[in-house]
A = this chain, B = another copy of it.
């Protein structure tokens, strides 16, 4: 049995969805709300698996609603409802923590299937939105991909790591069981390789280039 809550300001649509859900074996409506605020205050005491939430709501928007709901119940699954497939809003909603979305004109059978998919750990979405998501995902990873442009030796990495940890030359020497002069030497080389002249710049560059 999938417990469904509905947050939708349009009375007709809300009641229609409730009727569909309650009229189908395996699905039960456990809460109907006309706005996010009233949904959020009840959420704690609600035994709900999947929430259908309108994106365009008066007061707190559906996107903000997702964020708040996730704070209260991090594991809750929220399926967004939209009239038009506005890529940007849907994308924002997914970033906020929504699990997928439905356009409101989705036929009943598809709608029930989508709810089930969400309940089973899926994220139903159109291929257009999916492309936006994977593109954004790859970009967020690609930032990390321009590393190793500057090749520090493993010893040098140890040294700069300790520097970034707030150690001075003497402390680094003690921890690596080498002399302060050796530390000095490594740092000189690090500066050369990174083309910098201060600790701070070296550390900044090393972190940003993902060397450390």
Q: Enumerate chain A interface residues (CB-CB to B < 8 A).
A: 94-95, 97, 99-100, 114, 117-118, 120-128, 130-131, 133-134, 136-138, 140-141, 163-168, 196-204, 207-208
Q: Cβ of A100: which chain B residues have Cβ within 8 Å of it?
A: 127, 130-131
The SS class assigned to the A binding surface is: helix
Q: Cβ of A118: which chain B residues have Cβ within 8 Å of it?
A: 127
Determine if B123 and A131 form an interchain contact, defined as CB atoms under 8 angstroms apart. yes
- Beyond the given A121-B128, A203-B207, could you list 19 further A-B residue pairs with CB under 8 A, ordered by the A residue number? A95-B141, A99-B134, A100-B131, A117-B127, A117-B128, A120-B128, A121-B131, A122-B131, A124-B127, A125-B127, A133-B134, A133-B137, A140-B140, A163-B198, A164-B204, A165-B201, A165-B204, A166-B198, A207-B207
* A–B Cβ pairs within 8 angstroms, 23 of them: A97-B138, A99-B131, A100-B131, A118-B127, A120-B128, A121-B128, A122-B127, A123-B130, A124-B127, A133-B134, A136-B137, A137-B137, A137-B140, A165-B204, A166-B196, A166-B198, A166-B201, A167-B198, A200-B202, A200-B203, A203-B204, A203-B207, A207-B208
Chain B: which residue is nearest A99 at the CB level?
B131
**Nearest-Cβ distance from residue A96 to partner chain B, whole angstroms:** 9
Q: Cβ of A168: which chain B residues have Cβ within 8 Å of it?
A: 198
Query: How far does the alpha carbon of A202 sit from the alpha carbon of B118 in the complex, in Å?
Result: 43
Query: How far does the alpha carbon of A164 sit from the alpha carbon of B125 in the complex, in Å?
Result: 42
Query: How far does the alpha carbon of A95 sit from the alpha carbon of B97 in the complex, in Å?
Result: 20
Q: Cβ of A134: which chain B residues have Cβ within 8 Å of it?
A: 94, 99, 123, 133, 137
